[in-house]
Every structure is written in structure tokens, then in C-alpha cells.
Structure 1
């Protein structure tokens, strides 16, 4: 089943993994994106169907939670990976919660980011095509011209892009030109929490290996990677809208609503049916979230046994039947939502 169009829609979900790579090319910018919130443009009927689909998922709303089992205690934070002034309110709430923790778990900590950069320096083939034709040769002229223009808007030279792996370029296109400065700043909620932990001398551990990013994209064929890149180009005119929509949904505590929104809208695309969209989204959820969530649970429980633990990861991992919260609940943890 080809899912390149779904990768284009969810490449923002990879920002926690991609940030160490994106910052290699990102340059500072003054303005932030002001795209249209696509959820606000829904009709009442569409909004009602979206609400119903969201409500069917366990723990569908909220970014901050507590989990307890016996004497073990966790604070779980769903994060948004780009800088935003709206994080300030959450930081005030997190300060006392982090102060009582004995360690912090994140998707990728400082050591993992260093290891990732080291691996890339030692093995450029992780991000670059080291043999065979360049993308300039592989893509139709019209697509190459569009890609060159999109990257120029992000201050990335086309001559450099010609030898980049397609999935990496598609991921770069996930970030609108007006948000490249936010990437360069490296002040998303994950990094702000890690900075708070460092100030307190709190140990920071990773939930997964730093090679997870490459493992995920290794499952894609070269053909699907090129299709992912081409479909990303089709989104270029609306990438700021998707970015704004995802950010607004996060700060409303409704990241799962984004997933359901894209699933329902995909079902209306030419050549799609609800069954096809549901099947592809189920497969994508397994790849992007379920497998990783399941692998995180032993790490989280082991940490909790050592003392109160603060856990921070992308907000989309919280909700759903195979979300982190429901997986913990199934293992006897009592889950309580905290006010942001």
C-alpha cells in the first residue's frame, strides 16, 4: 500500500526526530506563519462528524497528564516541537512538576542529538545520495523547478538539494519558509523542558534510539520517497495553513482532532473511499505511533520504578487505543488529566 501522500501530511509529526537535522540547514527568520486554520473553515456538519470521530478515541483531548500505580508516579506532557509564545503558560505550570521529578524522558535528548549529528558527519549517505542519478536527473523538469523554488524560499541551494535523499527534502518542505526561523531557534517545548531539566541537574534520557528516524524511512522504497517529495510540492501553497492548523489544535489540547481531520478529508480525495482512507491511516498509525508507543512503555515503567519521572513527547502519541495513555491504563496505571 503506497502512503507517500500520508507521509506528506504527517511529516510535521517527525519534527522531534528531525530537528537536529533540520537545524543544520535552517536559517533565522523574523516572522512566524499566519496561515488559515483549516478546522475553523469546516461546516457545522463536518465539524460535528469530526468531533464524533475524535470522541471515539481514548484520552482524545489534553496535553498534560499524571499517571500513578502504587507508589510510582509519572507526569506526561504532549509537546509541540516548534517555538511559540503560547508555550509560556505551560512552562509556568510545568515548573513545580519538573522540580519534583527525579529524571526526564524525551524522544531525543542532547546525547541523541549529538549522536545523530556524529553519524551524519561520519556517514553522509544517511542524508545524501552517494551514488546514482541526482534528483535533478530523476525528477521531471517542472518538478525540479518547483522544488528549487521551494528550497530557495528556505535559503537552501538547489545544487545541494540535488543530492539529498527525497524523504529528507520532503521533511524540509514540511516547515513553511516563515517557520524556518522557529526551527533554527530550537525552542520548541521539548527543548525548553530539557533546558529546565539541565538547570536543575536533572538526568535526561531518551525513549528510543537516535537511529529511529532512519529505521522509519528505511521502510520506504525509493519510488515512494520520490512520490512523497512530489506530493510535498503539491502542498507548498498551503503548507502555512497546515502548520497553523496543527499549532492551533495543539494549544487547544486537540492534537488527535488533527489526525481525525486528515483521515476524514483523505476519504474525500479523488480515488478514495472511507474504507481505503481508514485502512491507510491504520497502517500509518502503526508505523508512526503504535510501534514506538509500545516500545516506550517498558522504558517509562522502568524509569518510574526508580523515582517520580517526567515524560515529554509529541502530543499525537498521547491519545488513541494504542496511545501511551491507554497503554499505561491497560497496565494498571490510573490516568488523570492536569490543567495546563
Structure 2
């Protein structure tokens, strides 16, 4: 299995399975099949969430400026519209801040290639021993479609299994072929490098592994259970997530994942809520809080040069009470939306 993982790609797959390009992964938008009452329930859950709608934002504090781009980690031709809009701003910026820069991705790839224990649990019970027979049969079949034989899958770390479940078979093929990883994050980095604009990572290369530390065995197993409904309809789920992203409905992505698990995971609503909140806290909230200091420091240093900074990271880090936008707002930053022609309301 020749998979070239990156910090951003693994994170997004592990959290909410943000998709690959719709033209590569053929399926249907599952929202079109939802009962009206369920769609209304999902939309009601989004009401009142700060900054739930929008991908692109400006943060200003005195003479300091941060342009925030909510990214999508896999390829899509509509990225060209975003790049066209922000290329001049990147070229004029003092710095581009991203989840992981080229150095961090190289270190992560090297670590995953050289230390099998990061992905494989050589000791302790196997996944067939931890899950029910039906759960293991469904899981092993799902992973086999992604090129992972059951004998290998049985020893994989639960967090990495959850990552694999978030990658549809068509996306997996793209990644194995060496294509399909040039999502918006990498395209932004290329623009910065072409303009000789420094690129700074918001977190170290090994941040991925600290996210999953300290999970209980039940939390690890429920992470797999919660990911199975999306995996069973992976291509449709991928298309649904793609269209939801480009409609700029970030928080609806999270609620769709939650409601899909309500009805299809076999877990109770309370268990799904606990799993969702745990994942959201570990993969979004805690990281968001750590990113504020480097964002503010970079903006302050840029202001001394009469410049601003651009920050591009996963779109789901922006909204919510503990999202980056609300955290900046609470520290005195003025937040305003940026419209991009052809994307969401900017179309």
C-alpha cells in the first residue's frame, strides 16, 4: 500500500472526511435523499453557531491584518477561483501560515515510513478481538476495498483505521497513484513559494499523534463505529461533503456527520454526541486555541513592515464558539467576510 500521508490530509479524513474532487469520485448528493424533517433538524442545529456560513474572512486589529482562508484538503477545479482571488494578497503578505508546511509534511512522511508502531499496534488485543464479529466483518470488508488486507487491518491503530474510513476508495486510488493530494493548502503554499513569501506551520509535524493520546479503549472503538456509516457510502458521502464545502456551509458538514451516525452507526444519540464532542475538542478546539498565539505574533510582526498575513487551514477550524474566528473576536479582532466570485454566495 503506497500511501503518502500528510498532516492536513490525515487530520481532515480523521475528523469529517472532507472529500476529493467530485469529478473523480462519482456519486450523488445525499442531502437530496434526506427526509425533509431530518434536513430541517440538521439546519436547526446550525442556527446560532458563530460564523457557520463562510470560508473566507478578514480579521483586523488596529494596523494588523489576517486574511483567513478555510481550505479543502483535496483537489477540485474550483480551487482556481479561490487562487485567482487571493494570489495578489498572498504575494503582498509578509507570511503564509498553514497547518503544515513542506518541512513538516516531509518529517511526518519520514516518521510514518520508518516507525511502523505509529500506525500498527503490535501488542495488545487485535481489532477482531475488540469489536463484535459483525463489526469486524463489516470493517475488514470496507478496508479491503481501500487496499488494506484484513491481516494488516487487524493490527492497525484505531485512529488510523478511522482515517482510512474517511477516505473513499476513489480517493484512495488517487492517493496511491501519487495524485490527489494537491488540495487548496498545497496550492496556497505553491503560490507563496513562487512569490518568495515565507511559509510557517501553525503546529509541529508530530501534532497528529498527540491528538489521539489518552483515549480510552471504548473511545477508540466508538471512533471506528462512528466512521462506518460514511465509509459504507463513501463516494456519495464524498460528493455530499464536496458540495457542502463549496456552498460555504462549513458547520453543516459537522452536523451531517453527526446525524448520519445517529441513524446508521448503531450507537445511541448520547454515545454519538460524546464521540462527536470528543473528536471536535481534540481535533478542532484544542488546536484552534494553540494557533491563536502564532497567528497574532505573525500579524504583529507583519504590521511593523506595513503588511498583513494570510492563513490557510481546514474550513472547520473557523466556525463555532471555540473556532478560530470567535477566539480572535474575543481578543479584540474585527471579523468581516470576504466574498469570492463563483464560490457560495459569491457566485
C-alpha separation between the residues in 2 aligned to 1:297 and 1:203? 19
1:123 equivalent among 91, 115, 125: 115
Q: Match for residue 216 of structure 2?
A: 221
C-alpha separation between the residues in 2 aligned to 1:21 and 1:317? 14
Q: Are residues 1:96 and 2:94 paired?
A: no
Q: Are residues 1:257 and 2:246 paired?
A: no
Between 1:142-151 and 1:55-64, the stretch displaced more is 142-151
C-alpha separation between the residues in 1 aligned to 2:107 and 2:122? 21
Q: Are residues 1:106 and 2:98 paired?
A: yes
Question: What displacement does 1:145 show?
Answer: 4.7
Q: Which runs of 5+ in 1 are unaligned?
A: 1-13, 23-28
Question: What displacement does 1:225 show?
Answer: 2.6
Counterpart secondary structure, 1:35: coil
Contact 1:64 1:78 in 2 (8 A): yes
C-alpha separation between the residues in 1 aligned to 2:147 and 2:93? 41
Question: What displacement does 1:311 show?
Answer: 0.4
Question: What displacement does 1:276 show?
Answer: 6.7
C-alpha separation between the residues in 1 aligned to 2:212 and 2:274? 20
CA spacing shift, 1:248–1:163, aligned 2, 3 Å: same
Q: Are residues 1:60 and 2:52 paired?
A: yes
Q: How many residues align?
A: 320
CA spacing shift, 1:54–1:160, aligned 2, 3 Å: same
Between 1:285-294 and 1:130-139, the stretch displaced more is 130-139
Q: Match for residue 314 of structure 2?
A: 314
C-alpha separation between the residues in 1 aligned to 2:120 and 2:274? 32
Q: Are residues 1:171 and 2:163 paired?
A: yes
C-alpha separation between the residues in 1 aligned to 2:300 and 2:186? 25
Q: Match for residue 191 of structure 2?
A: 196
C-alpha separation between the residues in 2 aligned to 1:214 and 1:268? 30
1:16 equivalent among 8, 18, 33: 8
CA spacing shift, 1:47–1:194, aligned 2, 3 Å: same
C-alpha separation between the residues in 1 aligned to 2:12 and 2:29? 28
C-alpha distance after superposition, 1:8-28 (max 9, x if no partner): xxxxxx971517999xxxxxx
Contact 1:289 1:317 in 2 (8 A): yes
Question: What displacement does 1:216 show?
Answer: 1.4
Counterpart secondary structure, 1:175: coil
Question: What displacement does 1:153 show?
Answer: 2.4
CA spacing shift, 1:97–1:81, aligned 2, 3 Å: same
Counterpart secondary structure, 2:33: coil
Q: Match for residue 330 of structure 2?
A: 330
Question: What displacement does 1:64 show?
Answer: 0.8
C-alpha separation between the residues in 2 aligned to 1:205 and 1:323? 20
1:285 equivalent among 261, 280, 285: 280
C-alpha separation between the residues in 1 aligned to 2:114 and 2:226? 31
Q: TM-score, normalised by structure 1?
A: 0.82
CA spacing shift, 1:287–1:42, aligned 2, 3 Å: same
C-alpha distance after superposition, 1:217-254 (max 9, x if no partner): 12323444344335544543212222222111100000
Q: TM-score, normalised by structure 2?
A: 0.81
CA root-mean-square deviation:
3.1
